[in-house]
Amino acid sequence: MSKQNHSDPGGIADLLDIMRALRDPQTGCPWDIEQDFASIAPYTIEEAYEVSDAIDRAAWDELPSELGDLLLNVIFHAQIASEAGLFDFSDVVSAISGKMIQRHPHVFGDESRNKSAEQQTRDWEKIKAEERDGAGVLDGVALGLPALTRALKLQNRAARVGFDWPETTQVLDKIIEESQELVEACETKTQADMHEEFGDLLFVMANLARHLDIDPEHALRDANAKFTRRFGAVETALAKRGKTPAQSDLKEMDALWDAAKRDGY
């Protein structure tokens, strides 16, 4: 493939050409040529998070670039597949186009368009279940999801077939039970037991999030952001005293933390 000037790329065909050039065994980029599905997958996940981060920050000027990075990963996977004779980018587009048409009969078919968003969600899940015909209830929940998100999806699947606590208070009771089991495991100091009980407690916390209609990943991200803001305020206050956190102690930093909390950080 001859080298081309891609200083002003404008469409998906240009991006496909660029990826083919990057992967060309004779004239391509050595790093790109060496990659495979497994090596690119972590970058795909990272780019998806960067898209989410730009949205959370309302950084609309950054979003086109972040979406482009994510799209590049799709193109990368499709090019690797094409070279292996598995599928190509047109197959990716055909698959998602067909799926969207099939899952929106109220738009592309004869079903009524006068359905609520809630009913459409139920219909969507019913169609997805039919697509999984013969599979187990929990089959198909991706292993690569963040653990809290995967816990939520597993519990949602189980709840649809009636395996769920009907009352939130029952989930809270289970949290108390699991917390006590973790305390007991910590007393024995058996690492395997502590690991298991800690995981059980997180799993039930995810279930409580589901009952409260809270996204646990989002809630934890917000908690991380709050911690970062407040600790930053502590560092700033210490700097005014000519100190760093390493030169302070817990009592002083705790007092500054409480001050930051009162100041709305």
Judge whether 63 lies within some domain.
yes
Using DSSP's 3-state secondary structure scheme, residue 70 falls into helix
Same domain, 61 and 78: yes
Structural domain boundaries enclosing 210: 132-214
Q: What is the pLDDT of residues 147-162, one digit of tens each?
A: 999 999 999 989 988 9
Same domain, 159 and 227: no
Q: What is the pLDDT of residues 79-122, one digit of tens each?
A: 999 999 999 999 999 999 998 998 888 888 877 666 777 776 66
Q: How many CB atoms lie within 10 A of CB 155?
A: 20
Number of domains the chain contains? 3
Whole-prediction pTM value?
Answer: 0.65
Q: What is the pLDDT of residues 172-181, one digit of tens each?
A: 999 999 999 9
The predicted pLDDT at position 59 comes to 95
Same domain, 60 and 17: yes
The predicted pLDDT at position 133 comes to 66
Torsional sign, CA 172, 176, 181, 187: positive
CATH number, domain of 178, equals 1.10.287.1080
Q: Identify the burial level of 162 via C-beta atoms within 10 angstroms of its C-beta, where 0-12 means exposed, 13-18 middle and 19 or more buried.
A: exposed
- pLDDT reading at 2 higher than 50: no
